[in-house]
Amino acid sequence: MSFEVRAGRVFGFLGPNGAGKTTTIRMIVGITAPDDGQIELFGERISNETQNRIGYLPEERGLYKKMKIVDQLRYFAALKNVSQTEADKRIDFWLERMNLAEWKKKKTTDLSKGMSQKIQFISTVLHNPDLLILDEPFSGLDPVNVEFMISVVAELKAQGKTIIFSTHLMETAERLCDDIILINKSRKVIGGTLREVKGSFGKNLIALRCVGGETVLEDKNLVAKTTTHSDEMELELAVNADAQDLLKRLIENGAAISKFEEIEPSLNDIFIEKVGSI
Amino acid sequence: MRKFLAVVKHEYKKIVLKWTFLIATLLFPLIAAAFAVVPALIFSIKGDATRIIVVDQTGKIAPRIKENLSKETAEAAEKSEDESLENLTASQQEQMKRAAEQLEESFIFVEYNADAKPIEQIKRELNAKITGKELDAYLIVPPDYDAPKANFEFFSRKANDPVAKSTVRNAINGAVRSQRLADANISEDKLKNLSQNVDFSIKKISEEGNEKDSEGTFAAAFIVGLMIYITLLIYGQQIMAAVIEEKETRIAEILFSSAKPFELMMGKLVGVGLAGLTQLAIWIISALALAVVGLANMSAAGMSISLPDITLLTIIYFFIFFLLGFFIYATIYALIGSMVTTVQEGGQFALIPVMVLVVGFYMSFAVIRDPNSSLSFWVSIAPFLAPITMPVRILAETPPFWQIALSIALNGAAIAGLIWLAARVYRVGMLMYGKRATIPEVWKWIRQS
């Protein structure tokens, strides 16, 4: 398996359970060493220095049960070489940002699960990392908090952070990611920008509702196959044909178009097809 | 290094800033005191006076026994001891006074007319009295008291009380001895002179040739052994609990992505070790302070009590061996913690180090009894046992320096080996969730890395 993550973008690391996502991530953050091959971050081999520039939110995560929130966060920050004064500033900022300021002196046992999740997220970003690795970051959050966290992630992206986002929830991935890789059984199945992946997935389908233009639709160089539904048609474009060309030709031929839509396969479809077929 | 120090600070504060630390620090002296005082208290509790009948058909022995068990004799004994009180420690005086007091009230002699009744009948009658709770015990003096195999029979409702038993036995022996002497025509006055006890006190010669009070030394050695034993036990368990918490809550994953497992493990050991040192230092400093103040007060009151000579070197040795023990057992506990999944499971495995610790603690008694025996030598250099037995031995009687050095070297090597082992297990074990590591698996981790 080989892939690249481009700086300043959100990279979706997708795959079914047990595909090897967590294992791969553990190698990137330096928890385990690869048997073979190599990993480079920010143009250098992974090391203790690169570790300090990563914020890692593991899928299985927790906090010290009987320790004050602020003390835990200070400890995690210190382990990333953040000075205490700097850490205190950022802890206050982030607790405020997450609306958890009044919980600063409370213990983990007093927090709800969603609150703990947010605290764990704070511990991931406290040292202002250049690369964020989020493994199923939204599991256990209610929809309102999921939306909130998505906005926080988008903010971080806008600040130029690179984000590796691992999940098996395709809807979220589709909303957040610029690039994706799909792996299964520790092999890369498909990868690239979201657009490329969808484009390369082959099914260039178009939903069309129009009156006239039949001659265009019969051109085998443009349309490979036509399926008629109740009031609209589903066209499969011919190889090398372009949807814009088709649209132009239809208009030139005087067709009255009420709907013309490129149907993209959803990540969910791709996931099911690719993973299910192996 | 900065991260290592962060871990050390974190672990140290986690223990020392908790109220349980304060309580434990205050509680140990109480527990130690209880260990020393409770057995004495139990033996000093006066039972109800024993109502006793002495059946003596010869008529010669019974009066003597009564005399030996009676108040006047005890007081006389006390008086004679007063003369030698200066040579005794406070605790010895106390013991003797207590023994005397116990005699005073312990026996009530019940009159009983046994003339010409056969023994069987006497026993039947007296047994009935005992069952009827009119009587607690009776003693039958055989007519042939002077014969080599004369058998005195003592019947009691509480025959198992060791204090009563030995008191009665002493009284009988004394009585028979006196009677024999009387039979040999030795006058009562002469007899008293002849049977006067001598004074006997044990002093121990230290290396420098000074006399030392050996009871103080024994007590100090015992307390030192207990102190190390308890701290190793408590802090070992603390380490294990902390390791299991990080594993159970999956914090390990975050920690391992921030620092090296070895840094994390060593930071934890050092941090908790420093907390243990803090506690020991508090105990020792306060014990020394108390001893100095107490000593000053006592000599002001005209009493002189010799303390075991505790030098600065002894204290340094004490801390060295505590640290050796701490790193041995803490590493074992950390290793166990990283292998298991829950505290309960860890508790089962932890029985192994606990048993070794208990052996070390009991061995320290052998060391106190005879610090120079070959057994004492071997247990005080043996890894795992030495951290308890060597400080005890140093206090009881300081061995030659090469033995101390050998002990430090052997235990240091054991620590190096254990840490090497634990680091390998820790790295993998901490990330293994859901199931306990099997021994073959652990062996594989050790060999692979």
- Find out whether B259 and B65 touch, Cβ atoms under 8 Å: no
Task: Look at B250 and A62 and tell me if their CB atoms are within 8 Å.
Answer: yes
DSSP notation for A227-263: EE-SS-EEEEEPTT--HHHHHHHHHHTT-EEEEEEEE
So what's the pLDDT on residue B44? 62
Confidence grade of residue B390 (pLDDT, cut at 50, 70, 90): very high
Ranges of residues in chain A with a pLDDT under 70 are 202-203, 277-278
Taking the Cβ of residue A4 and every Cβ of chain B, the question of whether any pair is shorter than 8 Å is answered with: no
Residue of chain B whose Cα is closest to the Cα of A72: B10
For the beta carbon of residue A227, count every other beta carbon within 10 angstroms.
10
Same domain, A50 and A130: yes
Same domain, A141 and A205: no
Q: In this predicted model, which residue has the larger pLDDT, B79 or B398?
A: B398
Confidence grade of residue B449 (pLDDT, cut at 50, 70, 90): low
Same domain, A67 and A164: yes
Residue of chain B whose Cα is closest to the Cα of A61: B250
Rounded to a whole number of angstroms, the distance from the CA of B49 to the nearest CA of chain A is 56
So what's the pLDDT on residue B306? 56
Number of domains in chain A: 2
Indicate whether A150 belongs to any domain. yes
Helix, strand, coil proportions of chain A in percent (round to 5)? 40, 25, 35
For the beta carbon of residue B430, count every other beta carbon within 10 angstroms.
26
- Which of B258, B263, B427 is the best residue to mutate to test the A interface, defined by the most A CB atoms within 10 Å of its own CB? B258
So what's the pLDDT on residue B87? 46
CA dist A202 and A270 (Å) reads 10
Same domain, A190 and A213: no
Residue of chain B whose Cα is closest to the Cα of A133: B257
Q: In the predicted model, is pLDDT for residue B277 greater than 80?
A: yes
Q: Which of A146, A168, A198 is the last residue of a domain?
A: A198
Indicate whether A244 belongs to any domain. yes
Task: Look at A58 and B433 and tell me if their CB atoms are within 8 Å.
Answer: no
So what's the pLDDT on residue B83? 44
Interface of A with B in 117-146 (CB under 8 A): 123
What are the C-alpha distances in Å from B123 to residues A269, B65, B143, B158, B172? 102, 20, 15, 17, 19
**Rounded (10°) CA dihedral A96, A100, A101, A105:** -150
CA dist B16 and B272 (Å) reads 9
The secondary element (H helix, E strand) that includes residue B437 is none
Residue identified by tokens 């005073």 is: B104
- Find out whether B418 and B332 touch, Cβ atoms under 8 Å: yes
CA dist B176 and B209 (Å) reads 44
Q: In the predicted model, is pLDDT for residue B205 greater than 80?
A: no
Indicate whether A67 belongs to any domain. yes
Indicate whether A91 belongs to any domain. yes
Interface of A with B in 219-238 (CB under 8 A): none
Q: Which two tokens stand for residue A173?
A: 């991935």
Q: Domain of A88: which CATH number?
A: 3.40.50.300
Domain span at A242: 201-276
- Can you state the angle between helices B439-448 and B401-429, rounded to 10 degrees? 100
Same domain, A27 and A102: yes
SS3 A2: coil
Same domain, A54 and A92: yes
Same domain, A122 and A206: no
Q: Which of A198, A228, A260 is the last residue of a domain?
A: A198
Q: In this predicted model, which residue has the larger pLDDT, A64 or B446?
A: A64
Task: Look at A62 and B249 and tell me if their CB atoms are within 8 Å.
Answer: yes
Confidence grade of residue B354 (pLDDT, cut at 50, 70, 90): very high
Q: Domain of A269: which CATH number?
A: 3.30.70.980
Buried residues in A27-65 as b, exposed as e (16+ CB within 10 A): bbbbbbeeeeeeeebeeeebeeebbbebbbbbbebbbbe
Q: In the predicted model, is pLDDT for residue B72 greater than 60?
A: no
Q: Which residues of A touch B256 (CB under 8 A)?
A: 31
Same domain, A43 and A169: yes
Task: Look at B257 and A54 and tell me if their CB atoms are within 8 Å.
Answer: yes
Q: List the CATH code of the domain at B46-198.
A: 3.40.190.10
- Which of B247, B251, B265, B448 is the best residue to mutate to test the A interface, defined by the most A CB atoms within 10 Å of its own CB? B251
Q: Which two tokens stand for residue A143?
A: 């929809």
Same domain, A20 and A72: yes
Q: Which residues of B touch A79 (CB under 8 A)?
A: 3, 6-7, 255, 258-259
Rounded to a whole number of angstroms, the distance from the CA of B11 to the nearest CA of chain A is 10
∠ CA(B402), CA(B404), CA(B409), 5° rounding? 90
Same domain, A92 and A185: yes
Residue of chain A whose Cα is closest to the Cα of B434: A60
CA dist B280 and B275 (Å) reads 9
Q: In the predicted model, is pLDDT for residue B257 greater than 50?
A: yes
Q: pLDDT by residue (tens digit) across B19-58?
A: 888 888 888 777 766 766 666 666 666 666 778 888 887 7
Give the domain ranges of chain B: 2-30+214-447, 46-198
Indicate whether A31 belongs to any domain. yes
Q: pLDDT by residue (tens digit) across B174-200?
A: 888 888 888 887 777 777 777 666 666
So what's the pLDDT on residue A90? 93
Q: In the predicted model, is pLDDT for residue B82 greater than 50?
A: no
Q: Which two tokens stand for residue B109?
A: 């002699």
The mean pLDDT of B253-278, rounded to a whole number, is 91
Average pLDDT along chain B: 79
Q: In the predicted model, is pLDDT for residue B445 greater than 60?
A: yes
Indicate whether A2 belongs to any domain. no
Indicate whether A1 belongs to any domain. no
Residues from B contacting A (CB-CB < 8 Å) are 2-3, 6-7, 9-10, 14, 245, 248-251, 253-260, 431, 433
∠ CA(A260), CA(A263), CA(A267), 5° rounding? 160
Q: In this predicted model, which residue has the larger pLDDT, B192 or B273?
A: B273
Task: Look at B254 and A76 and tell me if their CB atoms are within 8 Å.
Answer: yes
What 8-state DSSP symbol labels residue B307?
Answer: P
Q: Which of A198, A221, A249 is the last residue of a domain?
A: A198
Whole-number percent of chain B with pLDDT over 90: 21
Q: In 3D, which of B387, B344, B343, B347 has the Cα closest to residue B363?
A: B387
So what's the pLDDT on residue B412? 95
Indicate whether A155 belongs to any domain. yes
Q: pLDDT by residue (tens digit) across B309-346?
A: 677 888 899 899 999 999 999 999 999 999 888 888 88
- Find out whether B265 and A89 touch, Cβ atoms under 8 Å: no
Handedness of CA B219, B222, B226, B228 (dihedral sign): positive
Tally of residues, chain A: 278
- B257 → closest Cβ in A51, A62, A65: A51
Same domain, A232 and A135: no
**Could you tell me whether strands A162-167 and A131-135 are parallel, antiparallel, or unpaired per DSSP bridges?**
parallel
Helix, strand, coil proportions of chain B in percent (round to 5)? 70, 5, 25
Confidence grade of residue B303 (pLDDT, cut at 50, 70, 90): low
Same domain, A21 and A150: yes
The mean pLDDT of B298-305, rounded to a whole number, is 62
